[in-house]
Amino acid sequence: MNTSLLDACWGKPVERLPVWFMRQAGRCLPEYRALREKHGMFDIFRAPELAAEVTMQPVRRLGVDAAILFSDIVVPLAAVGIEIDLQPGPVLARPFRSAADLARLRPLEPEADMPYVLDTVRLLAGELDVPVIGFAGAPFTLASYLVEGGSSKTLGRTKAVMHADPAFWAELLDRLAGIVVASLRAQVAAGARAVQVFDSWAGFLSPADYRRSVLPATRKIFAGLADLGVPRIHFGVGTGELLELLAEAGADVVGVDWRVPLDRARARLGDHVAVQGNLDPAVCLAPWEVVAREATGVLEANGGRPGHIFNLGWGVLPETDPDILRRLVDFVHGD
Amino acid sequence: MNTSLLDACWGKPVERLPVWFMRQAGRCLPEYRALREKHGMFDIFRAPELAAEVTMQPVRRLGVDAAILFSDIVVPLAAVGIEIDLQPGPVLARPFRSAADLARLRPLEPEADMPYVLDTVRLLAGELDVPVIGFAGAPFTLASYLVEGGSSKTLGRTKAVMHADPAFWAELLDRLAGIVVASLRAQVAAGARAVQVFDSWAGFLSPADYRRSVLPATRKIFAGLADLGVPRIHFGVGTGELLELLAEAGADVVGVDWRVPLDRARARLGDHVAVQGNLDPAVCLAPWEVVAREATGVLEANGGRPGHIFNLGWGVLPETDPDILRRLVDFVHGD
């Protein structure tokens, strides 16, 4: 087993710097696109052989040091009965508007509600010699989809609810935190060796709003995983001002987007947590010489400190040439 | 003439804190919507009486300390012959792809190419007892529309061009900077008392990329306005890591979005520049008590230091109740 990812998460020295890419499974890979011509997203999520195949494709092709389960952050919501589709962003049939909607958010029973996810993790854990990363969406980001009914450029409605009805908001996030903990604990029990919590839209919040209205729920998640002994990665986009709070929530590793140079991120975070990141995904659309220059910039900003997992600052863009990613993995490995 | 805006821009003490709102003209005002039922966007931009009317509506209704010209950052591009529409975001008939496209970007002759903009400013300067703010889009943001052909969630194509063809990119931004300088100088000659440069999408860039690929063009703009003696405001969204660079470009005032508390922004910027901002626009969708609490947070984060213009951290959301904005103006004024 290649454990460089786990070692780096715990701040231990590693022989080769671990690297993986958010959204490495799917999107830019031709073998994935071929599969998608025959199957819908949820069809793949719900078919363990297919989901495991898509998860393993980038491990084979790119040589990354971790696999991340091919699924979506809304899968546990669909699993408790929320009518939600991916087009490709989430679209809800009936957005959440008031406390009456909370009844639709019952606790998740992972083995009964989403056995296909756990079967996929089991298949992967049996097949792969790199760690499988389990994942979930964070309560704020999940709540934004429930309240907006889909994607939003401003999260105006989400924030309006957050500000106008703090009791409903707190209960909503608390229930979502419960679902997230159940999902992640089950993924770890099935064989995931690390977990990542995606709070993709947390960066829309000021630090004061995050602390007041979101931190209690994310704390609950990380506390609810503490006894498992697996590294807990916490990631969001545009979170330069929230990095300390993402760590304070209880993460072992904080994901940093490309906007914040790693030396600045380290200065804000201190030495207690590892960092993951943070090459701009758009750089991978450029010629190799530029990719190498910018990747070197990331490595230099970290300055060789232990506790670094190389990644992009957000997900792989669909237009990316997989060969560039393959070269990038070799480059980070020093091959 | 109420000069509190200008005084604050220069860091002078003011009796009443100046306040205005990005996108205060249009959007949320019923009198604007009524007018829009009869006229298209470009029809209003090109009719000085109408554009002046829309510009003055928020001054009358909200009691703000400045008017910002009702126009759009793409107007100078349309004025030099680029086929561009607002639907409502910019959409280009023929996106820029290579050096051959540069020929389509001839220098702007403001009096000949966009006389209606200058006539609007002249009307406003003659009518209003608050300063008129002229504005332009910054080269990076304008280039992103030219290259993407419209809005983009990632600016992937823009960055790919920036990285892959730095000579074309530099020439593109330099030409855009020339257009911006010509537009802003003409607006000031027509009576604008301050200018704001909107680099709305600069926050998509890492500091290293901004410094290498964008700063030379923004420097050219601010240097090209230095002799006019009007305050120069520089604003972008998600620019927490770029604040120092926005100032280094030559701004007198740096606009701060809601993500960065003003005390942190001040710490990064030093005392040489004023700050503008930074209430989360989404807060204005909440009940008044929340708006007052959050506005107090903005004032406290600035700590009463001179050189503060109160504003939102980005534009007014269309769903905003104008009465909330009116109360907010009074609150900031201490009335």
Angstroms from B256 CA to nearest CA on chain A: 12
- pLDDT given at position B313: 98
Instruction: Work out the pLDDT band at B106, boundaries 50, 70, 90.
Output: very high
What percent of chain A stands above pLDDT 90? 98
- pLDDT given at position B1: 93
Which tens digits make up the pLDDT trace of A276-290? 999 999 999 999 999
Instruction: Work out the pLDDT band at A254, boundaries 50, 70, 90.
Output: very high
- Nearest CB to B238 within list A160, A209, A238: A238
What span, in angstroms and rounded, lies between the C-alpha atoms of A297 and A304? 12
Q: State whether residue A206 sits within 8 Å of chain B by CB.
A: yes
B169 CB neighbour count, 10 Å cutoff: 22
**Bridge partners, residue A233, by sequence:** A196, A253
A154 contacts on B by Cβ (under 8 Å) = 281-282, 317
- Nearest CB to A319 within list B156, B282, B297: B156
Asked if A206's CB is within 8 angstroms of B317's CB, the reply is no
Q: Going by DSSP bridges, is the β-strand pair B67-68/B132-137 parallel, antiparallel, or unpaired? A: parallel
Angstroms from B328 CA to nearest CA on chain A: 16
Q: State whether residue B211 sits within 8 Å of chain A by CB.
A: no
Q: State whether residue B27 sits within 8 Å of chain A by CB.
A: no
What percent of chain A stands above pLDDT 70? 100
Q: Are A299 and A278 in contact (CB under 8 A)?
A: no
Structure tokens at B264: 């942190």
CATH number at residue B307: 3.20.20.210
- pLDDT given at position A246: 98
- Among candidates A214, A219, A232, A83, which has minimal Cα distance to A143? A214
- pLDDT given at position B87: 92
Q: State whether residue B240 sits within 8 Å of chain A by CB.
A: yes
In this structure, what DSSP letter does residue A151 have? Answer: -
| Residue B23 is among the residues annotated as catalytic for this protein | yes
Which tens digits make up the pLDDT trace of B284-301? 999 999 999 999 999 999
Q: Is B335 helix (H, G, I), strand (E, B) or coil?
A: coil
The DSSP result for A275-299, as a single string, is: EEEEE-GGGGGS-HHHHHHHHHHHH
In this structure, what DSSP letter does residue A331 have? Answer: H
In this structure, what DSSP letter does residue A316 have? Answer: P
Angle subtended at Cα B157 by Cα B152 and Cα B158, rounded to the nearest 5 degrees: 85
| C-alpha Rg value of chain A to the nearest Å | 19
Instruction: Work out the pLDDT band at A302, boundaries 50, 70, 90.
Output: very high
Which tens digits make up the pLDDT trace of A13-31? 999 999 999 999 988 999 9
Q: Are B231 and B285 in contact (CB under 8 A)?
A: no
Which tens digits make up the pLDDT trace of B302-313? 999 999 999 999
Domain count, chain A: 1
Structure tokens at A48: 């363990």
A297 contacts on B by Cβ (under 8 Å) = 208
| Residue A175 is among the residues annotated as catalytic for this protein | no
Which tens digits make up the pLDDT trace of A6-15? 999 999 999 9
- pLDDT given at position A140: 98
- Determine the residue among B214, B259, B319 to mutate to test chain A binding: the one whose Cβ has the most chain A Cβ atoms within 10 Å: B259
Q: State whether residue B244 sits within 8 Å of chain A by CB.
A: no
Which tens digits make up the pLDDT trace of B11-62? 999 999 999 999 999 889 999 999 999 999 999 999 999 999 999 999 999 9
| Residue B264 is among the residues annotated as catalytic for this protein | no
Q: Which residue in the list B7, B23, B199, B266 is annotated as catalytic? A: B23
B285 contacts on A by Cβ (under 8 Å) = 156-157, 159-160, 163-164
What span, in angstroms and rounded, lies between the C-alpha atoms of B265 and B80? 37
Q: Which residue in the list B7, B72, B113, B252 is annotated as catalytic? A: B72
Angstroms from A296 CA to nearest CA on chain B: 12
B327: part of which helix (H) or strand (E)? helix B322-333
Q: Are A57 and A31 in contact (CB under 8 A)?
A: yes
Q: Is B306 helix (H, G, I), strand (E, B) or coil?
A: coil
H helix intervals, A190-261:
207-213, 215-223, 243-248
B262: part of which helix (H) or strand (E)? helix B262-269
Name the residue of chain A whose CA is nearest to B260's CA: A241
What span, in angstroms and rounded, lies between the C-alpha atoms of A184 and A176? 12
Average pLDDT over every residue of B123-134: 98
Which tens digits make up the pLDDT trace of A149-165? 999 999 999 999 999 99
Asked if A282's CB is within 8 angstroms of B156's CB, the reply is yes
Average pLDDT over every residue of A220-230: 98
What percent of chain B stands above pLDDT 90? 98
Q: Are B5 and B194 in contact (CB under 8 A)?
A: yes
Question: Residue A231 is part of which domain span?
Answer: 4-333
What is the sign, positive or negative, of the torsion defined by CA atoms of B112, B115, B121, B125?
Answer: positive
Residues listed for chain B? 335
- pLDDT given at position A38: 97
**Bridge partners, residue B91, by sequence:** B85
- pLDDT given at position A109: 98
Report yes or no on whether pTM surpasses 0.90: yes
Name the residue of chain A whose CA is nearest to B242's CA: A259
Which tens digits make up the pLDDT trace of A52-99? 999 999 999 999 999 999 999 999 999 999 999 999 899 999 999 889
A86: part of which helix (H) or strand (E)? strand A84-86
- pLDDT given at position A150: 95
In this structure, what DSSP letter does residue A102 have? Answer: G
Angstroms from B165 CA to nearest CA on chain A: 9
Report the Cα–Cα distance between both ends of chain B, in Å, rounded.
Answer: 19
* Single-letter amino acid code for the residue at A324: I
Q: What is the ipTM of this complex?
A: 0.95
